[in-house]
Amino acid sequence: MRITDKLAQHQTFSAEVFPPKGELPLEQAYEIAGGIAADRPDWISVTYSAGGTGNSRNTIPIAASIENDFGTTALAHLTCMGTVREDVDAYVKELGTYGIQNLLALRGDRRPGVEQRDFVHASDMISYLRSSGSDLCIGAACYPEGHVESPSEEGDFEGLLAKQDAGADFLVTQLFFNNEDFYRFRERLLRHRVKLPVVVGIMPFTSVKQIQRMAFNCGASIPARVVKRLVRAGDDPEAQAQAGIEYACEQILDLAANGVDGIHVYSMNKPRVAHAVHEALASVGYFEG
Ligand code: FAD
């Protein structure tokens, strides 16, 4: 099913998986996806390693399993890095083979030795898809605190307008820890004529190291109240993970009450993390609306 059809019906709940590295990656991924699918999310997204590195060849098989084995809508990511038009054509054809109707078009993370080829920005890939007649439901990324490389706020909004004008159907945000940043961003989107539905991406942090790495990579600011919770959790990994899940649940309950279009969990391949968010939402009747 197209994600925009779901967004038109209700506030959505979805989660992300990534193809795990190492031995037996597919079996692990199927188990993780199956664990998340058990909660009947509106969709599960599957990341793509920029430039076709890592286990990006497994993005479509995992998405296909989500769609056809678990009966859950899949959103397959694809990046511009190292990608040429023929790669996009082949990818879209393969998605069609498995009945996958949703694609998240991204520039991709920068990796040493991998350059952009036929597509510089996500909007270029979206334009290409539309000009070649694709009727996929296409999502794109957005950044409530601004993209790390963006020289100005205005530039960021122009980039988002370019994605909308190119034919994107919806946006998914980068993770953030302060909901006020998102509410300000939502207002500014409208002022900049970006009218696409926006799904908020929330990452329940699971350790001090992980939150530091994510904040550095994507430029998300860490509020003092998050730091205090981590300090209170001390060195105990389980207490740190629990603090992250509790904080994320508080964040998403506030977002749900403030009428966001959908909630997407960066569950870091941990079904129990997605499940905790699902339970928190269920406790306030999110799925009954
Ligand atoms: P772009 O839209 O190209 O934006 C990059 C920069 O260029 C921004 O500063 C923007 O303001 C500017 N810009 C955008 N369009 C234009 C334009 N038309 N003209 C001029 N400037 C422009 N990375 C992966 O490698 N694999 C994944 O699976 C993956 N999944 C992600 C999922 C989500 C929901 C998010 C938020 C990010 C994901 N990323 C992933 C990370 C993403 O690839 C990086 O954040 C990357 O740095 C930017 O991607 P983008 O699609 O926003 O790029």
Q: Which residues contact 231 (CB under 8 A, 6 or more apart)?
A: none
Mean pLDDT of 19-26: 82
Is there a contact between 66 and 44 (Cβ–Cβ < 8 Å)?
yes
Q: Which residues contact 184 (CB under 8 A, 6 or more apart)?
A: 144
Q: What is the pLDDT of residue 50?
A: 81
Q: What is the pLDDT of residue 20?
A: 86
Mean pLDDT of 98-117: 93
Crossing angle of helices 122-131 and 85-97, in 10° steps, is 70
Mean pLDDT of 181-195: 97
Q: What is the pLDDT of residue 115?
A: 86
CA dihedral 278, 282, 287, 289 (to 10 degrees): -140
Residue 207 has pLDDT above 90, yes or no: no
Mean pLDDT of 48-65: 89
- Measure 50 CA to ligand 1 centroid, in angstroms: 11
- Measure 260 CA to ligand 1 centroid, in angstroms: 21
Ligand 1 atom closest to 174 (CA): 36
Ligand 1 atom closest to 148 (CA): 9
> Which of 121, 188, 203 maximizes ligand 1 atoms within 8 Å of its Cβ, making it the mutation to test the pocket?
121
Mean pLDDT of 207-232: 90
Of the pLDDT bands very low, low, confident and very high (cuts 50, 70, 90), residue 216 is confident
Residue 52 has pLDDT above 80, yes or no: no
Of the pLDDT bands very low, low, confident and very high (cuts 50, 70, 90), residue 54 is confident
Q: Which residues line ligand 1 (CB under 6 A)?
A: 47-48, 50, 77, 79, 104, 106-109, 121-123, 141, 147, 149-150, 155-156, 159, 162, 172, 174, 201
**Is 16 one of the annotated active-site residues of the chain?**
yes
The residue contributing the CA closest to ligand 1 atom 48 is 107
Mean pLDDT of 167-181: 98
Q: What is the pLDDT of residue 111?
A: 85
Residue 244 has pLDDT above 80, yes or no: yes
Domain span including residue 249: 3-288
- Measure 133 CA to ligand 1 centroid, in angstroms: 23
Ligand 1 atom closest to 143 (CA): 36
Two tokens at 18? 């990534």
| Number of domains composing the chain | 1
* CATH assignment at residue 47: 3.20.20.220
Q: What is the pLDDT of residue 232?
A: 93
User: What residue has token string 């706020």?
Assistant: 153
Nearest to 248 by CA among 267, 220, 235: 267
Mean residue pLDDT of the chain comes to 95
Is there a contact between 160 and 186 (Cβ–Cβ < 8 Å)?
no
Ligand 1 atom closest to 166 (CA): 18
Residues 181-186: contacts with CB under 8 Å, at least 24 apart = 181/144, 181/145, 181/221, 182/144, 182/255, 182/260, 183/258, 184/144, 185/142, 185/144, 185/145
Collapsed DSSP state (helix, strand, coil) of residue 61: helix
Bridge partners (DSSP) listed for residue 171: 140, 198
Mean pLDDT of 242-256: 96
User: What residue spans of the chain are helical by DSSP H?
Assistant: 3-9, 25-37, 59-68, 85-97, 122-131, 153-166, 179-191, 208-218, 224-233, 237-257, 271-283
- Measure 191 CA to ligand 1 centroid, in angstroms: 21
Q: What is the pLDDT of residue 21?
A: 83
The residue contributing the CA closest to ligand 1 atom 40 is 108
Question: End-to-end alpha-carbon separation of the chain, Å?
Answer: 20
Mean pLDDT of 81-110: 97
Q: What is the pLDDT of residue 46?
A: 97
Of all residues in the chain, what percent carry a pLDDT higher than 70? 100
- Tell me the Ramachandran region of residue 269: left when phi exceeds 0, alpha when psi lies from -120 to 50, beta otherwise: left
- Measure 195 CA to ligand 1 centroid, in angstroms: 18
Q: What is the pLDDT of residue 97?
A: 98
Q: Which residues contact 149 (CB under 8 A, 6 or more apart)?
A: none
Of the pLDDT bands very low, low, confident and very high (cuts 50, 70, 90), residue 285 is very high
Q: What is the pLDDT of residue 51?
A: 74
Residue 23 has pLDDT above 80, yes or no: no
Residue 289 has pLDDT above 80, yes or no: no
